[in-house]
Amino acid sequence: MTATETLHTTPLDALHRELGARMVPFAGYSMPLQYPAGIMAEHLHCRSAAALFDVSHMGQAELVGEGAAAALEALTPADVQGLKPGRQRYGLLLNEHGGIVDDFMFANLGERLFLVVNASRKHLDFPLIESVLPAGVRLRPLPDRALLALQGPGVAALIPSDLTFMGIAPMTIAGIEVIASRSGYTGEDGYEISVPAERAEALARALLAMPGVMPAGLGARDSLRLEAGLCLYGNDLDETTNPVEAALTWSIGKRRRMAWDFRGAEAVREALDKGPPRLRVGIRPEGRQPARAHTEIRAGGAKIGEVTSGGFGPSVNGPVAMGYVARDHAADGAPLDLIVRDKALPARVAPLPFHPHRYAR
């Protein structure tokens, strides 16, 4: 951001400030980094009870019209046409080289597809999707809706529902009509709740008034997703990243591997057939010092990769990181050296996630 650019705000901006949030610029928005309790407390509370996150900066949209699912499959290797009504799925938007333009969520709401894309990429994603739509299919961005994430093991008792992980449905919460999916980006059970912007503050206040719910900011959201081994676009994924090296092969639909009829398919197929030169792995540094993004990774004195996400994991009580390393150094337990302040910090490749997922299956 330059000094002359104005940050966007979410419908909960006034509430964040009332609650004492430390606001920071993020993806063109003024967002809460943390509240007075602090990142560590917010993180651990999400793991033990329930935390409320404002993710209204994300891009929400609907794809409507006959053939919408088939049209979207031109850009993603995910199986969109095979997704049943009331279900949601993770997908990747690819460029012609097989690089990841964005990772996103899409859901089948029966008469329409519901999309959620990253805040920093929505200005690129929406025109890209529109560029492949046939006559009769329309993309309708939903800037008039907010998005809240209520996450943690305590959520199931607060919002009883028949939905299981990645289920989605219209429902009423605190007297407000919303679209809620049993999902999130913390590794915990919970909901992401799409709500009309004018009702967002009322809903947030109602959720915060529920037993055991505390507000949480971007800091805790980042440490939670890192412990859960989940990628952050711009750190762990970008337009030069192939889904295979990112260890996201599971997001490629079985039917799509038969037809190979999506943008970038040739590069993805080649990576699957030959194996990528590098792989995304989990990393556990020895000791207590964390290794941040862009830390050089060496083995035997030679550079073999770079950390893409790193920090302290409150739930595992130690530093954790993810990064890309040369394929022959990607086995669990492989020794690494992380170059932190010009010194080699011993580390090992570790299986992901660092903290077990606890989704409502």
All structural domains of the chain with their residue ranges: 3-57+144-227, 277-361
Distance CA 24, CA 80 (A): 36
Distance CA 347, CA 198 (A): 48
* Structural tokens at position 36: 């007075």
DSSP calls for 94-128 = E-TTS-EEEEEEEEE-SSEEEEEE-TTTHHHHHHH
Give the distance between the most distant pair of CA atoms in the chain: 61
Instruction: Classify 136 in phi/psi space as left (phi over 0), alpha (psi -120 to 50) or beta.
Output: left
Q: What is the pLDDT of residue 202?
A: 98
Q: What is the pLDDT of residue 126?
A: 98
Closest CA to 117 of 98, 104, 108, 106: 104
Q: What is the pLDDT of residue 3?
A: 45
Q: Cα-atom radius of gyration of the chain, to the nearest Å? A: 20
Distance CA 214, CA 204 (A): 11
Distance CA 243, CA 256 (A): 14
Q: Do domains 3-57+144-227 and 277-361 have the same CATH topology?
A: no
Q: What is the pLDDT of residue 34?
A: 98
Quote the percentage of the chain above a pLDDT of 90.
Answer: 99
Is beta strand 100-108 parallel, antiparallel or unpaired with respect to 88-94? antiparallel
- pTM, to two decimals: 0.96
Q: What is the pLDDT of residue 240?
A: 98
Name the stretches of the chain with pLDDT < 70: 1-4
Q: 358 forms bridges with which residues in the sheet?
A: 188
CA 164 to chain centre: 19
8 A C-beta contact, residue 113 and residue 70: no
Closest CA to 355 of 39, 47, 49, 149: 47
In Å, what is the CA distance from 137 to each residue of 8, 134, 283?
A: 29, 6, 44
CB within 8 Å of 263: residues ≥ 6 apart: 74, 75, 94, 95, 96
Report the SS3 class of residue 239. coil
Closest CA to 209 of 50, 89, 33, 22: 50
Q: In this structure, what are the phi and psi dihedrals at residue 204, rounded to the nearest 5 degrees?
A: -60, -45
Distance CA 81, CA 100 (A): 21
In this structure, CATH architecture of domain 3-57+144-227 = 2-Layer Sandwich (3.30)
Neighbours of 123 (CB within 10 A): 11
8 A C-beta contact, residue 343 and residue 327: no
8 A C-beta contact, residue 204 and residue 147: no
Closest CA to 346 of 319, 324, 308: 319
351 DSSP 8-state letter? P
Neighbours of 120 (CB within 10 A): 18
Give residue-wise pLDDT tens across range 247-260.
999 999 999 999 99
* Structural tokens at position 339: 């170059």
Distance CA 117, CA 266 (A): 24
Q: Is the omega angle on the peptide bond into residue 353 within 30 degrees of 0, that is, cis?
A: yes
Q: What is the pLDDT of residue 168?
A: 98
Distance CA 315, CA 178 (A): 31
Domain 277-361 has CATH 3.40.630.10: no
Nearest 5°: the CA angle 218, 220, 223 is 110
Distance CA 61, CA 56 (A): 12
Count Cα neighbours of 11 within 13 Å in the Cβ-side half-sphere: 21
